[in-house]
Amino acid sequence: MKNFALGRLKVGAMNKSEAAYDAHLALMQHAGQILWRKFEGLKLRLADNTFYTPDFAVMAADGVIECHEVKGFWQDDARAKIKIAADLYPFRFKAFKVRAKKDGGGWAEESFE
């Protein structure tokens, strides 16, 4: 049995799902549904030496800042961090997962409040 390390991209580099979601956000921005987006644009302090960097910082059309997380699957600490951040900061926190074509495609959304 082989052990594989989790593949990590360089800071600022998007994986395939994040790149697809960025293209989706670009269309939303062009349509006026969002005003601004930035990949890894925020770093939020949760506790001493504990930070959460959402995949995307987004300004919605209503001017509210949203933190968007793009996930294929959740690791234990990632779900905990987004929940803690949602309790500490006055932003909307959302997670998105690619929806299978057989289920209509697009993005499945989960909100954290």
Domains of the chain: 16-112 (3.40.1350)
Q: Is the pLDDT of residue 71 over 90?
A: yes
51 beta partners: 45
What are the tens digits of pLDDT across the range 12-58? 799 999 999 999 999 999 999 999 999 999 999 999 999 999 999 99
- Predicted confidence at residue 12, as pLDDT, reads 76
CA distance 34 to 61: 5
DSSP string of 54-75, one letter each residue = -SEEEEETTS-EEEEEE-SS--
CA distance 41 to 56: 6
